[in-house]
Structure 1
Amino acid sequence: MKRKQWQGWGPGEQAEQHYLVQPRALAGGGDLRHVSEFLSACGWQDKSKRNGPLVLDSPDRTIRIGYNPYMLPGGWTIHSKATAHQDEWTVSLGRQTPVEIVAGLTDALTRPRSAHAPNVWAPLQEQHWKTDRGDEHFIATSPDGAAWMQFHHDRSGQAIWWSGAQDEQGNGWTASFTASTPMHLVQAFSEALASPDPVMRPRGRVPHSTRIRTTSVSVLPSQLSAWQQARVHAARAATWARNSWAASQPRTTTRPHATAGRPRARR
């Protein structure tokens, strides 16, 4: 285990021990606020009941994100109603899915779609994931064998995406995507899944596994808060910029002239 000490400590603060964990897929669930505070800053409405499951609705009320630890197996559910341009879809993620990977998908819900065609496999190939193609499936596995991303057809011919991670003891999580889930969201998930960047967990919240590598770091509470707020401020700034741009665009419909339909006066 490596150990680092952060510089620039201020007076009156006591450093706390945290760990940088790799691979991120095995880091455990993490702090739900990493997902919820970003969405709230983007205008999502918190519909959670006191001491109940987390529930967030999109500004247009077409998408609901929930996290429920009080039922089995529990975890995340992201559900979208059918719209004029998109069928209904659902994504389910286990409770131990790292919040940084969940956020890869949920953050993408707040951004406009890219003009480029999505490619779910590209982020995995860039990180040298191993691929295997069969008659009914295509699967990519992380270099350490801990995580996977799979595409297959079920008995009815529906296209199914399935992902997850598992340690040597069988502990881990899975994620499933219905056939109608927009591909750019599946790609955003695969990017977050394949990222080599470590994630931070406080002492006592690091899973016991021989498959993970940890680096001990001393972090001030003010530093941790500043990092969290930077993510929230970035979300607010991006939302303000998009709303300002939308408000500045000309109307697409022409209002009828005030005198339209009136008879002309005779001279």
Structure 2
Amino acid sequence: MKKQQRQGWGPGEQAQQHYLIEPRALAGGGDVRHIGEFLRASGWRDHSKPAGPLSMESPDRTFRIAYDPYLLPGGWTIHGVANGNEDEWWAHLGRQTPVEIVAGVTDALTRPRSAHAPNVWAPLQEQHWRTPPNAEHHTAISADGSTWMQYHQTPDGAAMWWSGAQDGQGNGWTAQFSASTPMHLVQAFSTALASTEPVMRPLGRVPPSTRIRSTSVSVLPSQLSAWQQARLNAARAASWARNTARSTGPRTSARPHAHTGGTRTRH
């Protein structure tokens, strides 16, 4: 078949078939590099062994993130050490948790905390998730019934956040957050979970589920590279800004005022 050359394409580039998947919670795990490369660009230490599980540590050594697909049940482990007024905390997210949802938490670990009080339920309410009136634990369920978020508390006082997605055909995942997990991180997770933005998967990596909607798109390798690079550039810029702010410290004198005058096919 003769290669087609379109305006704006690089020399010799061929479009690759990908799919936009909705709902994102049922899109499958995705590419672990989406998280690992972002953390490296943010200045995190990479303790991963060659061809082994992902293992990352924050620059100040207060957070650790690991992904191990080889152990059962496998998946993501996020751990925070006791720090100041915050207790030690942990989170476990299953192997099929989409990396875009995991990144809701891991990206948030690289950013300064917002001054606004966190609200885990707000992103879910904005997307019209329903709250069963007779549920034993406070629960929110997506409109299509495939995804949930729950604050689970036992009679003896033990508590945790529990979430997940199931399609009724054996595909799905669960996630647990300790009760001591900082609330802004749980909200970052619920925001990514509730997002209606589809996620992209390459040909051959679309889950065999009747509950998902897929849109076929033609994507150039240079486009994929540019999107990935933009994410890494943003991480490097934020890391540089944080390091610069720490190294300069507070100023003792006032600074002079500066005047500033491809075709889609729905399946």
Q: In 1, Cα distance between the equivalents of 2:223 and 2:240?
A: 25
Q: Return structure 1 stretches of 4+ with deviation > 4 angstroms.
A: 133-136
Question: 2:58 is matched with which residue?
Answer: 58
- Equivalent positions of 1:29-68 (< 5 A) are 29-68=29-68
Question: 1:241 is matched with which residue?
Answer: 241
Q: In 2, Cα distance between the equivalents of 1:65 and 1:184?
A: 17
Structure 1 residue 123 and structure 2 residue 106: aligned?
Answer: no
Q: 1:137 offset after TM fit, Å?
A: 1.1
Q: 1:145 offset after TM fit, Å?
A: 0.6
- The answer to whether the 8 A contact 1:90-1:181 is kept is yes
Q: What's the secondary structure of 2:35's corresponding residue? A: helix
Q: 1:134 offset after TM fit, Å?
A: 4.6
Q: In 2, Cα distance between the equivalents of 1:7 and 1:216?
A: 21
- The answer to whether the 8 A contact 1:166-1:173 is kept is yes
Structure 1 residue 192 and structure 2 residue 155: aligned?
Answer: no
Letter in 2 for 1:19: Y
- The answer to whether the 8 A contact 2:171-2:209 is kept is no
RMSD (Å) for aligned C-alpha atoms: 1.6
Q: Normalization by structure 1: what TM-score?
A: 0.89
- The answer to whether the 8 A contact 1:154-1:160 is kept is no
Question: 1:157 is matched with which residue?
Answer: 157
* Residues 59 and 217 of structure 1: CA distance in aligned 2, closer, same or farther (over 3 Å): same
- The answer to whether the 8 A contact 2:140-2:150 is kept is yes
Q: In 2, Cα distance between the equivalents of 1:193 and 1:7?
A: 37
Letter in 2 for 1:10: G
* Residues 7 and 67 of structure 1: CA distance in aligned 2, closer, same or farther (over 3 Å): farther
Structure 2 runs not aligned, ≥5 long: 1-5, 253-267
Question: 1:96 is matched with which residue?
Answer: 96
Q: In 1, Cα distance between the equivalents of 2:220 and 2:113?
A: 37
Could you report, residue by residue, the CA deviation over 1:36-73 in whole angstroms, capped at 9, with x for unpaired residues?
11111111011011121110001111211000011100
**Number of equivalences:** 247
81-90 or 139-148, larger mean C-alpha shift: 81-90
Q: In 2, Cα distance between the equivalents of 1:13 and 1:234?
A: 26
Question: 2:260 is matched with which residue?
Answer: none
Q: In 2, Cα distance between the equivalents of 1:153 and 1:133?
A: 17
Question: 1:3 is matched with which residue?
Answer: none
Q: What's the secondary structure of 1:190's corresponding residue? A: helix
Structure 1 residue 107 and structure 2 residue 107: aligned?
Answer: yes
* Residues 13 and 88 of structure 1: CA distance in aligned 2, closer, same or farther (over 3 Å): same
- Equivalent positions of 1:62-77 (< 5 A) are 62-77=62-77
Q: What's the secondary structure of 1:72's corresponding residue? A: coil
Kindly name which structure, 1 or 2, has the bigger radius of gyration based on alpha carbons: 1
Letter in 1 for 2:172: G
Q: 1:149 offset after TM fit, Å?
A: 0.2
Letter in 2 for 1:40: R
